[in-house]
Structure 1
């Protein structure tokens, strides 16, 4: 099979996304704006993402890939800092040709490994990919564990997804009672939510986005990531790939939610509250509920709220705060979808060290079966 490699760095946004849209199984992990965003972290030494085309220019596959230096572990990794690379996506073709092309992709990764000395690789597969979003005849999770072929280990995390094809009445019935009371409370207290994107309030985009950035800085007490990542988010907002939801008390903004958008799905990306208003108004409840209804009214099929962590797993031990936040998110009524993450090693010594450390950390956690207490 004759083909050619086209690097991400050499392609404009509209062209890249046009190619990605032709590859069934692609998710927002493969889009230009997402790769632009996660490519801005300081630890990333080289964004090697590429698309494979046939001789006629038809896209055959896409492979997000970057070289990062993980400072905590002191190792070079194929990842976007600690964000995984989206797993390779290949167009529909006979199975033998698919295996041949996937083998070729991993042979390229092998050559990059020799060049950059990477000791590990981190990848991920997203359940809300274009097979699902386009209602294709194929099963949406086909080939989701295919990377076992290359000796990668996997971990399955849960992500919370709301089916926007349900009626509004069913969506409401799925929301926890505590959550819905706070949504109604916000409405009674006069909270209003405004939407900012390239179609709604476009003239105020930059000003409102800067306010969101400042609110995030104040809430965190520091800049949590490089300024360039914020500029990449603003580019997505102004390009129609995201929306910013803002809750107001009178004319004062008190809570912000930035959502990314891909095909017929949207996902909560970043959120910040103005602390002095949190206790009285609990604005996050109404803010995210408004986003959910907005996407339903605009013919989106799914809204991803985010990961639901229940406790420690081998490759990741969530903090108490992460578990608490994910419990909060679950009360919006989303269903649990599997999100597969892949971990591979090129260095046997790192494999031994990493596994021994992870086992030690796990043994300090409560790993026994959790039996719910009777109420």
Structure 2
């Protein structure tokens, strides 16, 4: 694969696989954007690399682009079980620094598209659809480029919470049946935002183990999540009963502009009680206090999607908290 990058690079633009030494340059690109999905976060790449490391044929290949020796773009990519994606999801678009000359941007996209074709030929892997979020009325330059390559297009719905609204406004937009459940849950449970306690995090791990019936991921991935929390890149919302017993918790990751849900665990004997409702509400409350702009809830599903009943139920639950829907175009050959 190194040969592929050498063939793509020229005197002005150099493309390389990002490693730990490129962390500062990678994050410098992200800091220039007003909105950055958590899928581009460096700590997310580290976590997912650890999570997928035991998968057959897994290879992380994040790209970083330099123009005149300065970082101008990043592209999180990985190969998992013969599929090229951004760690299991759609292939996100290359993130390019604002103000990059138009000629350079065009060349970056041409190089990126050529890279995908070269990887397909060398490894026989197939790319996931290319996902492009429509955050305004204009198509991104990457979307226009893919369209001009003759790629077909579908659309999907992404669910968000606009955190620039007040907490009262956001709560009023919750699914009608959720509002009294949040109020009830706030009376039932003692909630806490946790950002550093190892003991509480270990409690959360144990609760997840008990609910799942065993360990579903490596200890190393849990340790990485704890490190993210201590470093201000994640937080934990806990719920306890009157006896101080942990009955539910949700873990969320964040960058400087937005946050997204990562993992949760709830006492199954209390399934009919409003646990998740309160975790979501308290998480949104904390996000607003930290000045985040967006809460990425996730992708909605349609009757045409191949998803399990469990996945549909999770999406149905989370969609009740969303007050903003964005379209995502999926380009494919």
The TM-score with structure 2 as length reference comes to 0.84
Task: Determine whether 1:58 maps to 2:70.
Answer: yes
Q: What CA distance in whole angstroms lies between the structure 2 residues aligned with 1:163 and 1:269?
A: 18
Counterpart secondary structure, 1:309: coil
Q: What CA distance in whole angstroms lies between the structure 2 residues aligned with 1:25 and 1:100?
A: 23
Give the match for residue 73 of structure 1: none
Name which of 276, 288, 291 aligns with 1:296.
288
Q: What CA distance in whole angstroms lies between the structure 1 residues aligned with 2:252 and 2:264?
A: 9
Encode CA deviations 1:171-210: one digit per residue, 9 max, x unaligned: 2221233211111111222x1211112xxxx2x1x33223
Q: What CA distance in whole angstroms lies between the structure 2 residues aligned with 1:305 and 1:81?
A: 18
Give the match for residue 228 of structure 2: 236
8 Å contact from structure 2 (residues 29, 73) kept in 1: no
Q: What CA distance in whole angstroms lies between the structure 2 residues aligned with 1:268 and 1:158?
A: 17
8 Å contact from structure 2 (residues 153, 331) kept in 1: yes
Q: What CA distance in whole angstroms lies between the structure 1 residues aligned with 2:166 and 2:22?
A: 39
Task: Determine whether 1:2 maps to 2:12.
Answer: yes
Q: How many Å apart are 1:219 and its aligned residue?
A: 2.3
Task: Determine whether 1:306 maps to 2:277.
Answer: no
Cα distance change, pair 125–217 in 1 and its aligned pair in 2 (3 A) = farther
List gaps (5 residues or longer) in structure 2: 1-10
8 Å contact from structure 1 (residues 13, 33) kept in 2: no
8 Å contact from structure 1 (residues 126, 340) kept in 2: yes
List gaps (5 residues or longer) in structure 1: 70-75, 133-137, 345-375
Q: What CA distance in whole angstroms lies between the structure 1 residues aligned with 2:290 and 2:154?
A: 34
Give the match for residue 84 of structure 1: 90
Q: What CA distance in whole angstroms lies between the structure 1 residues aligned with 2:149 and 2:215?
A: 38
Counterpart secondary structure, 1:336: strand
Q: How many Å apart are 1:215 and its aligned residue?
A: 2.3
Q: What CA distance in whole angstroms lies between the structure 1 residues aligned with 2:150 and 2:269?
A: 50
Give the match for residue 42 of structure 2: 32
Cα distance change, pair 141–291 in 1 and its aligned pair in 2 (3 A) = farther
Q: How many Å apart are 1:226 and its aligned residue?
A: 4.4
Counterpart secondary structure, 2:253: strand
Q: How many Å apart are 1:12 and its aligned residue?
A: 5.5
Q: How many Å apart are 1:292 and its aligned residue?
A: 0.7
Name which of 67, 70, 76 aligns with 2:79.
67
Counterpart secondary structure, 1:86: coil
Name which of 82, 91, 97 aligns with 2:104.
97
Q: How many Å apart are 1:126 and its aligned residue?
A: 4.6
Cα distance change, pair 31–243 in 1 and its aligned pair in 2 (3 A) = same
Task: Determine whether 1:20 maps to 2:30.
Answer: yes
Encode CA deviations 1:310-350: one digit per residue, 9 max, x unaligned: 321xxx42223322222222222422112344445xxxxxx
Cα distance change, pair 298–24 in 1 and its aligned pair in 2 (3 A) = closer
Q: How many Å apart are 1:257 and its aligned residue?
A: 0.8
8 Å contact from structure 2 (residues 25, 71) kept in 1: no
Counterpart secondary structure, 2:107: helix
Q: What CA distance in whole angstroms lies between the structure 2 residues aligned with 1:215 and 1:156?
A: 37
Aligned length: 317
Q: How many Å apart are 1:24 and its aligned residue?
A: 6.7
8 Å contact from structure 2 (residues 83, 125) kept in 1: yes
Q: How many Å apart are 1:7 and its aligned residue?
A: 2.4
The root-mean-square deviation of aligned C-alpha atoms, in Å, is 2.7
Structure 1 segment 223-372 matched on structure 2, within 5 A: 223-250=215-242, 251-279=244-272, 281-312=273-304, 316-344=305-333
Q: What CA distance in whole angstroms lies between the structure 2 residues aligned with 1:89 and 1:247?
A: 37
8 Å contact from structure 1 (residues 87, 125) kept in 2: yes
> Which range moves more in the overlay, 146-155 or 316-325?
146-155
Q: What CA distance in whole angstroms lies between the structure 2 residues aligned with 1:120 and 1:333?
A: 30
